[in-house]
Every structure is written in C-alpha cells, then in structure tokens.
Structure 1
Amino acid sequence: MSKSFRTIALIGKYQSPDMAEAVLRIAGFLREHGLVVWIEQGTASSIGTAGDFAVAGYEEIGVGADLAVVLGGDGTMLNTARRLSQHEVPLVGINQGRLGFLTDISRNDAIAKLGEILDGRYTEESRAMLDAEVLRAGQRVFQTLALNDVVVNKGDLGRMIEFDLSIDGEYVYTQRSDGMILATPTGSTAYALSANGPILHPTVGGVALVPLCPHALTARPVTLPDTCRIEIVLLPPHDATIHFDGQTRFDARAGDRVVVTRSPNVVRLLHPEGYSYFAMLRQKMHWSAIPRLP
C-alpha cells in the first residue's frame, strides 16, 4: 500500500438501504491493510452503526484525512467536494447511485480499484469550483461554493424573470427568460447540458452561461474565461431562486446582485489507471450513440 494514504475517511449517501453493508465492507478491507479508517459522522448516523471504527466530522476529516472515499451518486460527491475543497483532500468516488458521472468506480469493482489506488496506481485531476455570493444593497447576504453550477431561475413564478448581465463590470445585455445557468466544465454535463449548453472538457478554463427558455430568437449559450467576474442583477418586480449544485438554495429579491467568480479552491479527484473522460461520456451519457430504430 502507498505510504501517501494512512488515514482514510468513508463518506456515504444518506438513507441508502445498502449503504451500511458497503461502508463496513470497505472499512474492513482498509483496516486489513493497516490503514486508519474514519466514518463520517452523518454517514454513521444514517446507516445506524459505525461498528468499532472511529467517527469524524467534516472538519476533522479535512484536517486529518489523507483520502476520502465517497460512496453514493453524483449528489453525494458534490456535497462532499464543497465541504472538503478548502482542505484539498483527494476524493475517490464509488457509485452507489444512478448516473455516477463523478463517482466513476462501480460498486462491483470497488475493492479491486480502491486497492489499485492505494498502491499508487491512479491518475489525479483538479476540478474548478465557483465562488458565488448574493449582494443586497451592497451587503453580502449569502455566500457559498459550487462544483457543478449556479442557477438563477424564476422559482415558483409562472412567468419569466428579467435581469441584467455584466461581465467584468461591462454591461452585456438585459434578458427576459426563465433564468440562467452558470456552469463549470464539471457542470457542463449536468443541468446545462439539458438546456443545450456546450460540453466543456474538465481541463478547459471556462464558465458556460446557458439561458433558460429565453424570450428571444438569438439568445445563445456562451463560454467565458474563468477569470471573469460575472454579475446578474434582478430587475423589479422580479424575485428569483438561486440554486447551487441543486442542493443549496437562496431566495433572492428584486435588486439583488449575484456575483460569480472562479474559486481559489479546487477539487482533487483520483481515478483508477485507464480512466477516460471520453469513455465516461460514451458510457454514462450515451455520447454519439447511434439512434435506435423503431
């Protein structure tokens, strides 16, 4: 086993019926190889047991763990990434969910692939994050991180909203639409893809702006350098809802300013040898698949 990883944290999807067995099986495998194992506090509470393994909160994991193994789907990985990114703890994803675009190791291969990674046979990549804040009358009222996307939308309104878009302080346009998606390369294959946004390779330094049902014939997605400062100002009388990775939300008011920049934090993902982003697109997203005939 690689000496780089001595303390391993296990983080599982909450309220998953087979999570307890999966977590404890991997914990036992790691202990057999002389590693210190921590089970994240919420995970232990959710599965109803931590066995005789240590329980740790996210802050303790961030400070003391050498690696975090995430068992679940993409949502579990997104939540974990936001909470651990400032500590730069590398993450390994084991898919216990549906799509598993970020949790790329299948549950059937979990032990074998995890063993390879612990032996030092892996590739590492860094994923960019967004730093988002909401300003009201010049004062910050909300701030968070996003790995996938920041989505400004009409919320429960049965009509469009209107907002001004500015880039690096320069006015771009006023748009009437259901909202706007600001997606990282990681998030370009999520909600933004459903709105006909571009697919951005993870190494591209860009942010995709994808309008949601714009009331215009010429509104198109655009990819900006991730060095830009993007601002959206809600125009009266329209309120809106802002979603961050589809997990955190903020109810914004008319006049609020949403400011999005690239975060200094990055997410470190470890993959088994042979991992291919394009293979994941083909397998998970059926990219370029031949349409089935009736």
Structure 2
Amino acid sequence: MEQFRNVGIIGRLGSAQVLDTIRRLKNFLIARQLHVILEDSIAEVLPGHGLQTSSRKLLGEICDLVIVVGGDGSLLGAARVLAQHKVPVLGINRGSLGFLTDIRPDELELKVGAVLDGEYLSETRFLLSAEVRRHNEAIGQGDALNDVVLHPGKSTRMIEFELYIDGQFVCSQKADGLIVATPTGSTAYALSAGGPIMHPKLDAIVIVPMYPHTLSSRPIVVDGNSELKVVVSKDLQIYPLVSCDGQNHFTCAPGDTITISKKPQKLSLIHPLDHNFYEACRTKLGWGSRLGVHD
C-alpha cells in the first residue's frame, strides 16, 4: 500500500464546524509526524497554524494525499483541480448527503488513521469535459465530476436543441434543459430529474432531459467513451447557460454547439474499508433496511 507522507487539507469556508474539524485533523496528522500542507484560503482563517500553505493546484503536485473537509460540493470543486495530478482524495463529511465525503467527523481519528495505515479502498471516477463553440470557435470550457447541465438560467422558457451521439443524430427536443451525468453524478441532480442510479464502476454516461415537451422522452445511458454534441436552436429567443457541477457557468447563444466527452485524467477517490455503495444509497436516499429475516 502507498505511504502517505505529505498530506494536504482543503476545507469549505464560512463554517465554524468545518474549521473545528480541520483543527482536529491537523493536530491528528501532526501527532503522526506527517507533513501537513493547508490550502491558502483555509490557512487565512486559521491564524497561528505554523504550517506550509499552498494553492489548490500546487497541493495536487506536492501531496501524496489530499483530505477534503466539507460536503460533496467541496469535494467536487477539489476534484476538478486535483484529478489531473492523480493525487488520492479522501473526504470528511461536513455537509448533508455525503456520497463522496463519507467519513463522519466523530470517527475522524479512527477512519483517517486506518487509511494512513494502508487500510482503504481506492477507486477511480471519471470526469466530463464540456466545450462551447460559436462559429467554430471555442468560447467556454469546463470540467465536471457530477454533471454538465444545459438550462435556461433565470428564464422560464423552454430550450430547443438537437442531440448527437458519436456524430449520429438522436433527436431534436424541447425541454427545460438537459443533464449529462457521470455515474458519480447519477445520484445527484440527474436523479432528481428522473434519471437512473448508476454504480460508480460503470463506464457510462446518462443523458436526462429536464421536463421534456414529449412524455415519451426518457433518459438514455450510453458508453462512457461517447462524444455528445448538443446544438442550441438558432431560433431560440433566450441565451441558455451551461453549468458544470453547478459551480462553473458559461452562457450560450442560439446556434452554439456544446461538446461533452470523458476527460482523460481521472479522480482517485479513497474510502474506508467498510465503504459500501448500496449502504450509502440506503442511508442517503432512505431505502428500506433489512427485514430481519436474513443473516
């Protein structure tokens, strides 16, 4: 198993609970004689920490492990930067759902200690890359671990667009928008819009129309290596938005083309040994537990 010596800490700003957990984590890692590096923004709100600080990008280059303290949104933001550096990422949950950040604060020392001892599960999650082109010129680009969403922004009008998969025309559609999600993102916004839950190990992309004009329009699951092209109708009266993980946004004009495909660099995500995707679904999504008749 890999030995973690240089450990970076990223945290969500604006939360006293996150800062409390970061202080505990920092003290725990120092007690284990590890080299701890704080992300710049967190270091600013921890006066007197006495530790090395770094930009998020540089953390990916110099760390053997990066621990994110916050919710899934915090990990999504970190993942988009850290994936290209192949540094493993571990999440401590200070948010609500916690599909990606799966260590509870009260078990910090026990679970993080086990990971540092080499007792962990490691998996890769792929990201999507989205590019908006206008008159064959790139005007916007973004990455997403969860989803790329075409939506009307503040407008209440429907969007009309054409969908192509690997160069083949699929359909033209009127809808409130379109969600293109990874397996990681299948339990997020895509699920709310009626998409299927996909196991994280699947190499697949799900395309979920949002409130489509036709009742027969349904989500489509395609191969993870597919190239998707969404062409915004030239006759559209509004300027829709493209959002990556709900955090990065850029504006489209009528006639623009959005190309979405798998990003070559993957995120390395670490879990405690007792992590179980189906157990996470049960607890986070309120699925029924055992009836007590089976061992």
TM-score normalised to structure 1 length: 0.95
Aligned to 1:252: 252
Q: Distance in 2 between matches of 1:198 and 1:50?
A: 48
Contact 1:24–1:50 (8 Å) recurs in 2 = no
Aligned to 2:14: 15
Q: Distance in 2 between matches of 1:51 and 1:229?
A: 46
> Which of 118, 129, 133 matches 2:127?
129
Alignment coverage as a number of residue pairs: 288
Aligned to 2:4: 5
Task: Judge which range, 17-26 or 68-77, deviates more.
Answer: 17-26
The answer on 1:111 being equivalent to 2:113 is: no
Task: Judge which range, 17-26 or 154-163, deviates more.
Answer: 17-26
The answer on 1:284 being equivalent to 2:287 is: no
Please state whether the residue corresponding to 1:215 is helix, strand or coil.
Answer: coil
List aligned pairs for 1:1-294, cutoff 5 A: 4-45=3-44, 47-49=45-47, 51-238=49-236, 239-288=239-288
TM-score normalised to structure 2 length: 0.95
Contact 1:39–1:50 (8 Å) recurs in 2 = no
Q: Distance in 2 between matches of 1:287 and 1:220?
A: 24
Unpaired segments ≥5 residues, structure 2: 291-295
Q: Identity, % of aligned pairs? A: 39
Q: Distance in 2 between matches of 1:287 and 1:237?
A: 44
1:126-150, Cα deviation, whole Å (9 max, x unpaired): 1111011111110111112100000
Q: Distance in 2 between matches of 1:166 and 1:66?
A: 40
Residue type at the aligned position of 1:144? G
Task: Judge which range, 252-261 or 153-162, deviates more.
Answer: 153-162
1:77-125, Cα deviation, whole Å (9 max, x unpaired): 0000001100011000000111111100001001110000000000101
1:168-188, Cα deviation, whole Å (9 max, x unpaired): 111111000101000000000
Contact 1:20–1:49 (8 Å) recurs in 2 = no
Contact 1:152–1:241 (8 Å) recurs in 2 = yes
Q: Distance in 2 between matches of 1:277 and 1:173?
A: 34
Q: Distance in 1 between matches of 2:150 and 2:66?
A: 31
Q: Distance in 1 between matches of 2:94 and 2:165?
A: 39
Please state whether the residue corresponding to 2:16 is helix, strand or coil.
Answer: coil
Residue type at the aligned position of 2:282? R
Residue type at the aligned position of 1:119? D
Q: Distance in 2 between matches of 1:52 and 1:3?
A: 27
How far 1:220 sits from its partner (Å)? 0.4
How far 1:21 sits from its partner (Å)? 2.1
Please state whether the residue corresponding to 1:18 is helix, strand or coil.
Answer: helix
Residue type at the aligned position of 2:203? G
CA RMSD in angstroms comes to 1.3
Q: Where has structure 1 moved over 4 Å in runs of 4 or more? A: none
Please state whether the residue corresponding to 2:140 is helix, strand or coil.
Answer: strand
Q: Distance in 1 between matches of 2:2 and 2:220?
A: 44
Q: Distance in 2 between matches of 1:283 and 1:181?
A: 25
Please state whether the residue corresponding to 1:22 is helix, strand or coil.
Answer: helix
Residue type at the aligned position of 1:160? M
Are the structure 2 counterparts of residues 3 and 74 from structure 1 closer, same or farther at C-alpha, using a change threshold of 3 Å?
A: closer
Residue type at the aligned position of 2:141? Q
How far 1:48 sits from its partner (Å)? 4.1
How far 1:155 sits from its partner (Å)? 1.4
How far 1:236 sits from its partner (Å)? 2.3
1:267-288, Cα deviation, whole Å (9 max, x unpaired): 1111111110000000111134
